[in-house]
Amino acid sequence: MWSSRRAAAVPGSVFSLMDAAKSRARGRGLDIIDLSIGSSDLNPPDVVLDALREATHNPATYRYPLFSDTQPLRDAAAAYLKRRFDVTLNADTEVLPLIGAQEGLAHLLLAVTDPGDSILLPDPCYPPYLGAVAVAGLNVVTLPLLPERGFLPDLNAVPDNVNPRVLLLNYPNNPTSAVATREFFQEAAAWCRERGTLLIHDHPYAELTFGNYRAPSALEAGTTGVVELHSLSKTHHMGGFRVGFAAGDAHAIAALARVKGAVDFHPYLGIQHAAALALGLPDEVCRAGASVFQERRDALVPALQSLGWEVQTPQASMYAWARVPGVTDSITYAVNAAEQTGVALSPGRAFGAGGEGFVRFALVQPPDKLQEAVRRLAELNA
């Protein structure tokens, strides 16, 4: 009775099915290797934790933060973007702290669209996008991400009569772990500017890159008509802190600030302080975290390939995206795998129709556990 059409439109999650399957496996005495959730299992840097601990004992941090109080974090975010991507931003008008990228996206869509507007949304995609789009009342125009195109969309295939208000992209990508070049973002930004479309780039995996690969920023294509969402959840293993920032087009950032002004008072000052410090740490700190995920990738991917699974070696992100031989119903496969082997994966269908036939492995366990997971799955498939 007390559900709005907006609330009812938010899609349910298949993760409750996975939860139930894990419980049944536990009930049968299996130990669970949970690779279904993309939450970093590493710790934030010690100096960041120390800064937060100190802040919690400082009464000056207990009050509601005002916009002016967000300046140190805005400055740190702008300095980070300059250092990492050589992008120059006005920290007063082009940067805004977020309570995570997920919160930022939901409010940004409310800030820059009206109900009935169209959004170009990749398929497969990070499932909360679908909820944010439903809350904003948008019409989804699906942008297929196909393996033969390296999971990059073909913007030239979008019909001329489609005039989306927003194009949403995310590279390094969840769930496919695909990456995009600087030239790709330049083309996407030009395509958007021609149509009066806002390009939103969700960039939480900016620093989770392997070897010499470095992920570009969409803001390298200019800030007009482009907003990028950054998060410290994966880059600094601070998912539970709920902190990130939006950067880019000053008009969109101002609209976002208005909407957020009706909803929240910015992150806790202690967390802002910790996040600002994290963004200023030497690049090697992020590199060390990323190398842990790279080792896991190197343990998992060849083991899957030796089973004959089709899986690319990711250059970034914390996922491997694999097509399971002979599987056309990824939800049934993932539920069975969890129940029979204790290995919990995300079914590709959870990320949209375009994910069918695939599963996503989150690299959130040590190499030996990942290899153990593959051994168990091999028995299931045998």
Ligand X SMILES: Cc1ncc(COP(=O)(O)O)c(C=O)c1O
3-class secondary-structure state, position 1 = coil
Contacting ligand X within 231-260 (CB under 6 A): 231, 233, 239, 244
What radius of gyration, in Å, describes the C-alpha atoms of the chain?
A: 21
Q: Which is nearer to ligand X, 158 or 246 (CB)?
A: 246
Pick the binder of ligand X from 36, 102, 217, 272 (CB under 6 A): 102
Q: Which is nearer to ligand X, 113 or 174 (CB)?
A: 174
CB-based contact 236:205 (threshold 8 Å): no
Contact 359, 289 (CB under 8 A): no
Determine which residue in the list 113, 170, 209, 346 makes contact with ligand X, applying CB under 6 A. Answer: 170
Q: In terms of CB distance, is 204 or 289 closer to ligand X?
A: 204
Asked if 207 touches ligand X (CB under 6 A), the answer is no
| Residue 110 Cα distances to 4, 299, 356, angstroms | 16, 42, 30
Contact 52, 232 (CB under 8 A): no
CB-nearer residue toward ligand X: 170 or 197: 170
Phi-psi region at 273: left, alpha or beta (left = phi > 0; alpha = psi -120 to 50): alpha
Choices 97-105, 115-123, 191-199, 265-273; region in contact with ligand X by CB under 6 A: 97-105
Compute, in degrees rounded to 10, the torsion defined by CA atoms 50, 56, 61, 63.
150
- Residues in the interface with ligand X (CB under 6 A) total 13
Closest residue to ligand X: CB criterion: 100
Q: Which of 80, 126, 210, 245 contacts ligand X by CB under 6 A?
A: 126
Quick one: 42 exposed, middle or buried, by C-beta within 10 A (0-12, 13-18, 19+)? Answer: middle
Stretch that binds ligand X, among 86-94, 100-108, 132-140, 147-155 (CB under 6 A): 100-108
Per CB under 6 A, does 40 bind ligand X? no
Q: Which residue has the tokens 């669209």?
A: 113
- Residue from 101, 108, 335, 338 in contact with ligand X (CB under 6 A): 101
- Choosing from 94, 202, 249, 339, the residue that interacts with ligand X (CB under 6 A) is 202
Query: Is position 351 an interface residue for ligand X (rule: CB under 6 A)?
Result: no
Q: What angle do CA 310, 312, 217 make, to 5 degrees?
A: 145
| 209 in contact with ligand X (CB under 6 A) | no
Asked if 61 touches ligand X (CB under 6 A), the answer is no
Task: Reduce the DSSP state of residue 14 to 3 states and report it.
Answer: coil
Q: Which of 44, 45, 97, 100 binds ligand X (CB under 6 A)?
A: 100
HEC readout, 190-231: HHHHHHCCEEEEECCCCCCECCCCCCCCHHHHCCCCEEEEEE
Q: Which range touches ligand X (CB under 6 A), out of 11-19, 87-95, 96-104, 109-117?
A: 96-104
372 scored as a contact of ligand X (CB under 6 A):
no
Phi first, then psi: give them for residue 146, nearest 5 degrees: -110, 145
174 or 217: whose CB is closer to ligand X?
A: 174
- List of residues contacting ligand X (CB under 6 A): 38, 100-102, 126, 170, 174, 202, 204, 231, 233, 239, 244
